[in-house]
Amino acid sequence: MTMTAFKLLTRIVNPHGISKSITTIWSRNLSLNSTNMSKYFMLTYNYVPDVLEKRAPLRAEHLELAGKYLQQGKVLLGGAFANPIDSAAIIFKTDSKSDVEDFVNADPYVLKGLVTKWTIREWTVVIDGTAKI
């Protein structure tokens, strides 16, 4: 969406103006998305029962792989969901979904059968931690 289209949409949605903080957030994210070709992806894993015990011998290798992607700036954060620990998510910021697929194909949790199902979804980020409201 171009800034002109954004201003037009703003007038249509709220003809009397829109709060400055929302305008700032939308403008900032529109400009970031138009100049930065990286995309966000969410990788989710479903785990086998008793994954805590079963992952122990593979954890160091899994974290080493995640660390490499973190150092390359392709992984932003990740971890298992709690109570119960039956699934996990990792957020990637990269140019291509194939980077996430490469991670999955190299992950010992997947290779050794701890992951029963995985999905990769492109994620449209509208608000992030750097937005000033």
Tell whether 71 and 55 lie within a shared domain: yes
Considering its fold, how many domains does the chain have in total?
Answer: 2
pLDDT tens-digit map of 97-112: 999 999 999 999 999 9
Integer Cα distance of 86 and 30 in angstroms:
36
Q: What is the reported pLDDT for 128?
A: 79
> Is this model's pTM higher than 0.85 or not?
no
**Residue 59 counted as domain residue:** yes
pLDDT tens-digit map of 20-70: 444 443 344 444 444 457 899 999 999 999 999 999 999 999 999 999 999
**Residue 99 counted as domain residue:** yes
Mean per-residue pLDDT of the chain: 81
DSSP string covering 99-121:
HHHHHHHH-HHHHTT-EEEEEEE
pLDDT tens-digit map of 77-89: 999 999 999 999 9
**Residue 108 counted as domain residue:** yes
Q: What range defines the domain where residue 58 resides?
A: 39-123
Q: What is the reported pLDDT for 21?
A: 43
Integer Cα distance of 104 and 117 in angstroms:
11
Closest CA to 67 of 58, 57, 77: 77
